[in-house]
A and B are shown apart, each in its own frame.
Chain A
Amino acid sequence: MSSDVTLIIVIATALAFDFTNGFHDTANVVATSISTRALSPRIAVGLAAILNFAGAFISLEVAATVAKGIVDADAITPTIVFAGLIGAIAWNLITWYFGLPSSSSHALIGGVVGAMIAAVGTSAVDGESLLAKVAVPALVAPLVAFSVAGLAILVAYRIVGRLRPGPVNRGFRLGQVMSGGLLALAHGTNDAQKTMGIITLALIAHGDIAADNFHVPTWVVVSSASAIALGTYSGGWRIIRTMGSRIIKMDTAQGFSAQGAGSAVILASSHFGYPLSTTHVISGGVMGAGAARRLSAVKWGVAGNMIVAWILTIPMAGGIGGAAYGLTRVFGTGSLGPVVVSLLCLGLIGAVFGRRLQRGSPITAGARG
């Protein structure tokens, strides 16, 4: 009975993380299309939600463990997964509140690593693997996307530079529908599978699925796809504003180059099995498309804040994940701990949103800057 309750809480928390992943990362997919007026905000997030949903069904091959090889898989328990998810959700909400695009994948890895250290100790974490699979790609992703987008925009300006702006803008706006669609599909394929993997692992730990018969049940695929699509449709407008207009003021060619470069880097990394964060790639692409035209076009202060958030993601999500695990264990090893921590988190989120609603309406599609 106690393990049933814990399983239900882990599944609900995983779907909640999936939802925050969707609305936190909407900006990656739609921000450039909205800021260049290639698509209206509502149509952009609606299209992204549909394509994220569809993307979740495209492939299930990588619905394996998040943090695989980074933490000792044999030591993972549902409570550690729960605490890791709490760390990831909390960091996603904090960075969303400050309008900072940060990696949901890194938040999840950080949360699980933190909970694991609190539960088992540092011996359960492979530091070298963390460096190779997380830290180095985090450095590489924005640099590659920055260079590709920078070169792409120079090529684009060279070719269309002598044409009248009207047809050029119309053309690149059409192109952004295509490149944005590809990004949304790629995002759904990559990110929804993390939740599927986590829920499937919880089902294996609970004994509902045999460990030697790893498969993702259909209801897990549908619920994960729905959660990320709903989150995407909710639209994280604060981050959309940062990504779309606070880093650079983009023209349509820059928007297309940033999205095209982002799609190319994400798909190339998928193809060669070198996982990169969608957020880091798109942010690097946006900065590259701006800097290639004029270095001072990029608001480096905003870019600096984002990089600080990226650096803090793993330690902060890890710290919160570790604290969540510690708090859970105060109430014993049963399901009481996860229940209490879940209620506490829901209360905190309700209080923060309640205060914001009292202060004024939240940032929405109609109120975007």
Chain B
Amino acid sequence: MILGSVIDWETLGKVALASLLAGVGVTLAFSLAIVGATRMAEMRRNGRGIEAGAYATLMIVALAVSAAAVAFGVIVMTTK
């Protein structure tokens, strides 16, 4: 009963959801950037320019998402 009244469930839920989205999202984006970089190098070695370009785009977009997440983190720190 006491625990139920002192826990701020709403804020806790927001923290858990935001952490899940950000933590998994950044790992997902960075993993895709690694896939893009690795496959791009392989495709270029094999002379497959179009596929290499597609993987390069994947890498750039995924890196941009990762960088945006870091920038958002710094903004959170500066505005709290």
Contact in complex: A261, B11 (CB < 8 Å): no
- Whether B74 pairs with A185 at a CB distance below 8 angstroms is yes
Are B3 and A163 in contact (CB-based, < 8 A)?
Answer: no
Q: Does residue B70 face the partner (Cβ distance < 8 Å to A)?
A: yes
The yes or no answer to A86 lying at the interface (CB within 8 A) is no
Which of B11, B20, B31 has a CB less than 8 Å from the CB of A272? B11
B68 on interface, CB distance cutoff 8 Å: no
The answer to whether A163 and B23 touch across the interface, beta carbons within 8 angstroms, is: no
Count of interface residues, chain A, beta-carbon cutoff 8 Å:
52
Shortest B67–chain A CB gap in Å is 8
B23-A271 in contact (CB<8A): no
Q: Are A172 and B24 in contact (CB under 8 A)?
A: no
Is the pair A267, B31 in contact by a Cβ cutoff of 8 Å? no
Q: How far is the CA of A55 from the CA of B30 in the complex (A)?
A: 24
Rounded to whole angstroms, the CA-CA distance of A44 and B18 in the bound complex is 28
Question: Is the beta-carbon distance between A151 and B15 smaller than 8 angstroms?
Answer: no
Is A268 within 8 A of B77, CB to CB?
A: no
Contact B31 A55 (CB under 8 A): no
> CB-CB < 8 A to B22: which residues of A?
263-264, 267-268
A133 to B28, CA, bound (A): 32
Determine whether the beta carbon of A171 is less than 8 Å from that of B28.
no
The residues of A that contact B60 with a CB separation of less than 8 Å are none
Task: Report if A182-B70 is in contact (Cβ < 8 Å); known contacts: A149-B23, A260-B23, A274-B11.
Answer: yes
Residue of A whose beta carbon sits closest to that of B36: A171
CB distance B27 to A272 under 8 Å? no
**A270 lies within 8 A of B80 (CB):** yes
Sampled A-B contacts (29; CB under 8 Å): A59-B80, A131-B3, A131-B6, A132-B7, A144-B19, A148-B23, A149-B23, A152-B24, A153-B27, A156-B28, A159-B31, A160-B31, A167-B41, A171-B30, A172-B30, A185-B74, A189-B77, A256-B30, A260-B23, A261-B19, A261-B23, A261-B27, A263-B26, A263-B73, A264-B26, A267-B22, A267-B73, A268-B19, A271-B18
Instruction: Please tell me if the beta carbons of A58 and B73 are within 8 angstroms of each other in the complex.
Output: no
Q: Is B65 an interface residue (CB 8 A)?
A: no
Instruction: Tell me whether B14 is interfacial, beta carbon within 8 Å.
Output: yes
User: Closest A-chain residue to B20, C-beta based?
Assistant: A148
B residues lining the A interface (CB < 8 Å): 2-3, 6-8, 11-12, 14-16, 18-20, 22-24, 26-28, 30-35, 37-38, 41, 66, 70, 73-74, 76-80
Residues A159 and B32 in contact, CB atoms below 8 Å apart: yes
Contact partners of B32 in chain A: CB under 8 A: 159
Asked if B15 and A172 sit within 8 Å, CB to CB, the answer is no
Task: Report whether B12 and A156 are in contact in the complex, using a CB–CB cutoff of 8 Å.
Answer: no
Contact mask A252-274 → B, CB, 8 Å, 1/0? Answer: 01001100110111011111111
**Do B70 and A178 touch across chains, with their CB atoms under 8 A apart?**
yes
Q: Which 4 A-B pairs have the closest CB atoms?
A: A264-B23, A171-B34, A264-B22, A148-B23
Q: How far is the CB of A156 from chain B (nearest CB, A)?
A: 5
Known contacts A265-B19, A270-B80, A182 near B73 by CB under 8 Å: yes
Q: Is the CB of A168 within 8 A of B77?
A: no
A185 touches B34 (CB 8 A): no
Q: Which of B3, B15, B37, B74 contacts A269, CB < 8 Å?
A: B15
Decide yes or no whether A208 CB sits under 8 A from chain B.
no
- A260→B70 contact, CB < 8 A: no
Cα-based distance from A62 to B19 in the complex (angstroms): 21
Instruction: Give residues of chain A (168-192) contacting chain B, Cβ–Cβ below 8 Å.
Output: 168, 171-172, 175, 178-179, 182, 185-186, 189
